């Protein structure tokens, strides 16, 4: 118990220190003015894109469960995603356990199947980020110059490892400790089961890619309000680097890490650091606000157990 508490406090401290370092070093200018410039129309656009990204995530939850014979409604999947995000704001990766618990309550799926099903979703999400990153780097390769090669290797590696895990590559399994190798094997088996439905893996991957791109639209809104109108190629690069922070979930909700990643992406495009810092902090503020606002109704809607195995 003490160890878990220390981990929680440590992760929070790390995230808060990261944000504090960004504020102290980059001194975001005109934060209030940028927030005011966004206006209610900008907030509405940000909220709409956020909700649409959650609709895509809900589809990615519903379809594989249906394939395995368990009924999950789209509204349930939508609300569960907010509980997962809310819990992740408290302790890194704790949202995965909350997500699994709520899915089981609503569907009656056995823990063994649910555990095996969760890993493929993480795998497909990582692959989606890798694919977006590869495209973003390719279309910006001239302006990136030497750093572009490093990004190509990084995102190519993410896609390669994701595909290797998905296919159960023998060479990769041998490199893993026995416990991790068994988990990877279970993930591969789960992917094979849901892959029996024609084009399901492709659709799930597209849902994850769509969710990533919709979250990118939020960043575009904020940069536009700050006076920087990014073209689609620039936006894709900033988005890919910011989303890559999700792969390093060591602080609550990626606190401090996502902001730093967004700053790094903006720096590659020559956007002034104080402006990028303002955008990153406002995006975080909005995300904390909407998560807090929607977590309460989510808990109310999902309070009653519901079993609908098919």
Residue 108: CB atoms within 10 Å? 15
Strands (E) located in 32-160:
none
**Cα 86–89–95 angle (5° rounding)?**
60
Dump pLDDT digits (tens) for 161-191.
777 666 555 555 555 666 666 666 666 666 6
3-state secondary structure of 255: coil
Question: Residue 156 class from Cβ within 10 Å (0-12 exposed, 13-18 middle, 19+ buried)?
Answer: middle
Q: Residues with Cβ < 8 Å from 89, sequence gap 6 or more?
A: 252, 253, 255, 288, 291
Q: Please give the Cα distance from 86 to 74 (Å, whole number).
A: 19
Q: Please give the Cα distance from 106 to 126 (Å, whole number).
A: 26
Give the model's confidence band at 87: pLDDT under 50 very low, under 70 low, under 90 confident, else very high: confident
Give the model's confidence band at 2: pLDDT under 50 very low, under 70 low, under 90 confident, else very high: very low
Dump pLDDT digits (tens) for 41-80.
888 888 999 999 999 989 888 888 887 788 888 999 999 9
Query: Could you tell me the CA-to-CA distances from 304 to 69, 72, 298 in Å, in that order?
Result: 21, 14, 11
Q: Please give the Cα distance from 216 to 229 (Å, whole number).
A: 13
Most confident of 5-9, 98-102, 126-130, 255-259: 126-130
Query: Could you tell me the CA-to-CA distances from 88 to 62, 193, 203, 225, 250 in Å, in that order?
Result: 21, 29, 26, 29, 10
pLDDT tops 60 at residue 243: yes
Q: Please give the Cα distance from 99 to 61 (Å, whole number).
A: 10
3-state secondary structure of 70: strand
Q: What is the CA radius of gyration of the chain?
A: 20
**What would the two tokens of residue 264 be?**
């790094």
Dump pLDDT digits (tens) for 195-222.
677 777 788 888 888 988 888 888 888 8
Strands (E) located in 53-114:
none
pTM across the whole model: 0.79
Asked if 255 and 19 touch (Cβ cutoff 8 Å), the reply is yes
């Amino acid at each position: 118990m003490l160890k878990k508490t220390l981990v929680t406090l440590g992760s929070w401290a790390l995230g808060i220190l990261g944000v504090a370092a960004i504020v102290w070093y980059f001194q975001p200018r005109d934060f209030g003015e940028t927030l005011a410039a966004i206006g209610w129309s900008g907030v509405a656009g940000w909220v709409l894109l956020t909700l649409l990204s959650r609709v895509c995530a809900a589809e990615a939850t519903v379809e594989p469960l249906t394939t395995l014979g368990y009924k999950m409604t789209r509204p349930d999947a939508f609300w569960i995603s907010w509980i997962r995000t809310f819990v992740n704001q408290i302790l890194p990766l704790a949202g995965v356990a909350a997500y699994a618990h709520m899915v089981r309550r609503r569907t009656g799926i056995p823990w063994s199947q649910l555990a095996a099903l969760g890993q493929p979703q993480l795998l497909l999400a990582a692959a989606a980020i890798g694919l977006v990153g590869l495209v973003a780097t390719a279309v910006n390769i001239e302006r990136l110059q030497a750093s572009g090669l490093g990004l190509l290797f990084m995102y190519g590696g993410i896609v390669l490892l994701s595909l290797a895990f998905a296919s159960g590559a023998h060479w990769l399994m041998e490199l893993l400790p026995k416990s991790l190798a068994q988990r990877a094997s279970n993930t591969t088996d789960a992917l094979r089961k849901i892959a029996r439905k024609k084009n399901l893996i492709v659709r799930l991957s597209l849902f994850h890619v769509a969710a990533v791109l919709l979250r990118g639209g939020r960043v575009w809104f904020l940069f536009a309000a700050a006076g920087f109108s990014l073209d689609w190629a620039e936006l894709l690069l900033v988005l890919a680097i910011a989303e890559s922070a999700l792969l390093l979930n060591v602080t609550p909700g990626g606190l401090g890490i996502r902001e730093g990643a967004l700053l790094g992406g903006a720096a590659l495009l020559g956007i002034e650091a104080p402006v990028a810092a303002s955008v990153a902090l406002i995006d975080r503020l909005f995300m904390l606000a909407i998560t807090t606002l929607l977590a309460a109704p989510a808990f109310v809607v999902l309070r009653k157990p519901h079993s609908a195995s098919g």
